[in-house]
Amino acid sequence: MDFLKDNFWTILIVLNYIIAISAAFTILLKNINPTKTLSYLLILAVFPFLGLIVYYFFGQEYRKNKIFSRKNIHNQSVIKKVQESLELDSYELEKFDELLDEKSKLIKLLHNNEKSKLTINNKVDLLKNGEEKFKFLLADLKEAKEHIHLEYYILKDDKIGSKIINILCQKAEEGLSVRLSFDDVGSKISSKAKQKLKKSGVSFFAFMPVKFPKFTGKMNYRNHRKIAVIDGRIGYVGGINISDTYINYDDSKNYWRDIHLRIEGNAVSSLQILFLTTWNFVSNNTIDINPKLFPKIITKSDVPVQIAASGPDTDWANIMESIFSAITNAEDYIYITSPYFIPNDEIILALVVAARSDIDVKIIIPKDSDSWTAQYATNSYIEGLLEANVGIYRYEKGFIHSKTMVVDDVFSSVGTANMDYRSFNINFEVNALIYHKPTAQALKEIVELDLEHCEEVNYEDWMNRPNIDKLKESFCRLWAPLL
């Protein structure tokens, strides 16, 4: 006992490094991204105990472990019939091949990866900021006749959250099937609100509950999606969560810029399938899929839309690959807006090559981020991009949270995925890919208006920033794969 007391810390340190060495071998054998591997090995070697904690919470690879099973949903006959009904015939595919030229590779890429069907019977509306999104969403929720399905990363029972919760409760009491899924880390719902939902007959589940959500803001494998499906006919997807933060009230202290998408048409079926796969996981029950969840929809528009989803339940990083493919097939311009720009090497290389090939590449990021580590990590990439003639613009009017991309007046993307490691590889994300010139041009106009409120980063001025900032950037970049 005296020996143990006298050598307590030495024994703990030895045990720490025995476990750390074992973890290091596990990491090496996974053959994951070298930068990410080195980041984990560094913290295991330099930070005793803390390194093991970080690896335990952030280093587990669930995609390969397949704990998020989708088979119970995708094997159901109704789902198979829905997916078959969305399949375009060879004539329709050839038609869009001619329209999109080389960009049609995107369609085939996602179809081959995740059987993500291109749908053409769609009407889409770009919704600017929370004020516009919630005006439409509240109206659609009130008009619901069959069912309401909501899946959100952040849900709070503040002013806007309470309005939505009240409508959900009212609709459930009217006999509609109302299902609600929210991420346990991102959301904050009072016990009173939960009791009201339960009493009204709203079925709700938290996604991967944690004991201390306040201290797990960056816990791995969170559901970052924002999906609403109403009667299987109307769908919403984009960057706007359910919280007052996302609405610019008259008394709001900070201006919040964001984009959301409202869809009517066949693409809603793809969002519905995604919701049902999540619901199957959070409820731990196999849902008896009713054909009424997938009504036949006829719209007056024919906007081609493809839903790209990625996360620990997908075999491939679908959203990252679609962004990479869009960049490498660009011919005229690439405009990207992202609140967190911490891309992997593949995306950086694609952007640099595009810019050096005389393609107009513009990237909008916040001037002041809500995360100092993310901001310094983002800043560490700016110098190399400026040297390649990529235009970097920092939004000054407020916080820009839009997650959009528009290419060559043909292709546009609106969704939940940030341009960072976490969205590409770890969290559950969903983007709508739109192959439609009027929509791309409309999104381009929105981006050009945002550029008017941006400060363009000048190369000479940037190179003269304080050395202490450069040191902070280099330090935070080491953690980039973990942010």
Top-ranked range on mean pLDDT: pick from 80-89, 114-123, 149-158, 211-220: 149-158
Distance between CA atoms of residues 384 and 208, nearest Å = 38
Answer yes or no: is pLDDT of 181 > 90.
yes
User: Looking at the domain assignment, is residue 110 inside a domain?
Assistant: no
Q: What is the pLDDT of residue 55?
A: 66
State which H helix or E strand residue 381 sits in: helix 372-387
Residue ranges with strand state E in 311-356:
333-337, 341-342
Which amino acid is residue 45, in one-letter code? A
Any idea which residues carry the catalytic annotation? 224, 226, 231, 401, 403, 408
Q: What is the pLDDT of residue 14?
A: 74
Q: What is the pLDDT of residue 91?
A: 44
Tell me the pTM: 0.85
User: Looking at the domain assignment, is residue 467 inside a domain?
Assistant: yes
Q: Which long-range contacts (CB under 8 A, 24 or more apart) does 93-99 make?
A: 93/118, 96/120, 96/304, 96/435, 99/410, 99/435
Q: What is the pLDDT of residue 90?
A: 47
363 shares its domain with 274: no
278 shares its domain with 156: yes
Decide if 138 contacts 150 (C-beta within 8 A). Answer: no
322 shares its domain with 378: yes
User: Looking at the domain assignment, is residue 305 inside a domain?
Assistant: no
Answer yes or no: is pLDDT of 222 > 60.
yes
Distance between CA atoms of residues 51 and 143, nearest Å = 51
369 shares its domain with 472: yes
Quick one: DSSP state of residue 245?
Answer: G
Mean residue pLDDT of the chain comes to 85
Answer yes or no: is pLDDT of 194 > 90.
yes
31 shares its domain with 170: no
pLDDT digits (tens, 9 = 90+) for 63-109: 445 555 555 555 566 666 666 666 654 445 555 555 555 555 666 66
Query: Helix, strand, or coil here: 197?
Result: helix
User: Looking at the domain assignment, is residue 98 inside a domain?
Assistant: no
Which amino acid is residue 6, in one-letter code? D
170 shares its domain with 279: yes
User: Looking at the domain assignment, is residue 21 inside a domain?
Assistant: yes
Higher-confidence residue of 88 and 407: namely 407
Q: What share of the chain has pLDDT > 90, as a percent?
A: 55
User: Looking at the domain assignment, is residue 465 inside a domain?
Assistant: yes
- State how many domains the chain has: 3
Higher-confidence residue of 468 and 1: namely 468
Q: What is the pLDDT of residue 68?
A: 57
Q: What is the pLDDT of residue 61?
A: 57
Answer yes or no: is pLDDT of 200 > 70.
yes
Given 19, 39, 59, which residue is the final one in a domain? 59
Where residue 464 sits, what CATH number does that domain have? 3.30.870.10
Q: What is the pLDDT of residue 109?
A: 63
Q: What is the pLDDT of residue 302?
A: 86
- State mean pLDDT over 147-160: 97
Least confidently predicted of 42-56, 63-77, 202-216, 243-257: 63-77
Q: How confident is the model at residue 33 (pLDDT cuts 50, 70, 90)?
A: low
343 shares its domain with 421: yes
User: Looking at the domain assignment, is residue 391 inside a domain?
Assistant: yes
pLDDT digits (tens, 9 = 90+) for 256-279: 999 999 999 999 999 998 998 889
Answer yes or no: is pLDDT of 215 > 60.
no
- State mean pLDDT over 148-159: 97
Distance between CA atoms of residues 429 and 307, nearest Å = 11
324 shares its domain with 288: no
326 shares its domain with 471: yes
Q: What share of the chain has pLDDT > 70, as a percent?
A: 78
369 shares its domain with 427: yes
Answer yes or no: is pLDDT of 254 > 80.
yes
463 shares its domain with 366: yes
User: Looking at the domain assignment, is residue 41 inside a domain?
Assistant: yes
Q: Which domain holds residue 344?
A: 318-482
402 shares its domain with 463: yes
